[in-house]
Structure 1
Amino acid sequence: MFQFKQYYFDDFEVGEEFPIPSRTMTEALFAAFQLASADNHPSHYDVEYCRQRGMPNLGAHGFQILIQTAAGAGWFPHYVEESMKGFIEQSSRFIKPVYVGDTLYPHLKVAQLDCGRSTGVVTLASTVHNQRQELVMEGTQKYLIKRHPSKFC
C-alpha cells in the first residue's frame, strides 16, 4: 500500500493543489443522488418534464454538483490522516447548470491558512468546471488540522 507523507497544518502552503478525478454525470448517478437525498423534484429525474421547460436533459441538483468536490475523492484526506480534527465548514455558489452527460472536473486548492495555538484552519477553494471548461461551481471548504507539536505561529 502506498504511504503518503503526513501533513500537519504547518506543512500546507497557499496555492497547493489537490485535484479530484473527473466524472461524467450519468443517469445512474442522478438516480443514486435521488435515492440518497430523497429529492423528488421532477427536474432531477423526469427528462420529459425537463424538455417541456427547455432543458436539454435532467438537471443536476446543486448538492449533486457540490459532492463532486468531496475531498475523499482525491488525495487530500490521505495526507491528513494523522492530523485532521474535522471538516468544519463549506460554502458554494452554483454558476451554470449541469445536465446528464456533462463531465465535471473538480479541484481543490489551498486558499488560506489561519493558525491557532495547537490547530489551524486550512481553507480550500473548491471549483468544478465542465467539459467546455466553464466554471459551474465555486466555493470553499474548511478543515481543522493539528499543528506540529513544536511549531508556533
Structure 2
Amino acid sequence: MSPFKQYYFDDFTLGEEFPIPSRTMTDALFAAFQLASADNHPSHYDVEYCRKHGMPNLGAHGFQILIQSAAGAGWFPHYVEESMKGFIEQSSRFLKPVYVGDTLYPNLKVSQLDCGRTTGVVTLASTIHNQRQELVMEGVQKYLIKRDPSQHA
C-alpha cells in the first residue's frame, strides 16, 4: 500500500505543484542519452566540434531536456497509482540551450482540469529552469485520471 494519499481527478486543484528533484547534466548523462536515442550529431558528443561552432560544451538534445520533466522522477505517479488511466499528451518548447554542467530544476503544476463523467484530464504545466533561474523548457503534460468511484457511481 502506498504511503501517499491516493488522488482521483476531483482531488486535484489548480496551481497544485509536483516538483521534480534537480539534476546536473553530466558527461555520463549525455553518453547515456546518445546510447539510448542513437542520435549521432556531433553537437551532442564531440566537445571540439561544439567549441569550433561557438558552444561552450556539449549541447543537450531537446528530448534530453524534456525527459528531465518525466512525472515518474517526482511524486506525482505515487499519488495516482490507483486512478491513472494513462499519459495521453505532451508538448514542449525549448527556450534556451542546456550544456554539460548545467543543473536543471523541473516542476509540474496543475494548469487545467477537464472533467468527464467517469474520468477527467489533468493538465500539468511543465517547466524546467537552469541554475541561473532561466526558463529553458516549457510545455504541458496531460493525464487521464479516474474520478472517485465512491462519489460518482
* TM-score normalised by the chain length of structure 1: 0.97
Match of 1:58 in 2: 58
Alpha-carbon distance between aligned partners in 2 of 1:43 and 1:67, rounded to the nearest angstrom: 18
- Give 1:80 shift: 0.1
Deviation string for 1:41-92 (max 9, x for gaps)? 0000000000000000000000000000000000000000000000000000
Alpha-carbon distance between aligned partners in 1 of 2:65 and 2:53, rounded to the nearest angstrom: 21
Match of 1:104 in 2: 104
Identity over the aligned pairs, expressed in percent? 89
1:138 equivalent to 2:138? Answer: yes
1:42 equivalent to 2:80? Answer: no
- Give 1:151 shift: 3.9
Alpha-carbon distance between aligned partners in 2 of 1:86 and 1:48, rounded to the nearest angstrom: 42
Match of 2:3 in 1: 3
| Contact 1:45/1:58, CA 8 A, preserved across alignment | yes
- Give 1:2 shift: 6.1
Q: Unaligned regions of 5+ residues in structure 2, if any?
A: none
Count of residues in correspondence between the two structures: 152
Match of 2:28 in 1: 28
Please list every run of at least 4 consecutive aligned residues from structure 1 whose deviation after the TM superposition is greater than 4 angstroms. none
Letter in 2 for 1:57: N
- Give 1:150 shift: 4.2
Aligned Cα root-mean-square deviation (Å)? 1.1
Question: What is the SS of the residue equivalent to 1:141?
Answer: strand
Deviation string for 1:97-123 (max 9, x for gaps)? 000000000000000000000000000
| Contact 1:10/1:151, CA 8 A, preserved across alignment | no
- Give 1:149 shift: 1.6
Match of 2:16 in 1: 16
| Contact 2:2/2:78, CA 8 A, preserved across alignment | no
Alpha-carbon distance between aligned partners in 2 of 1:23 and 1:150, rounded to the nearest angstrom: 39
Deviation string for 1:4-59 (max 9, x for gaps)? 00000000000000000000000000000000001000000000000000000000
| Contact 2:47/2:58, CA 8 A, preserved across alignment | yes
Alpha-carbon distance between aligned partners in 1 of 2:46 and 2:151, rounded to the nearest angstrom: 55
Letter in 1 for 2:106: P
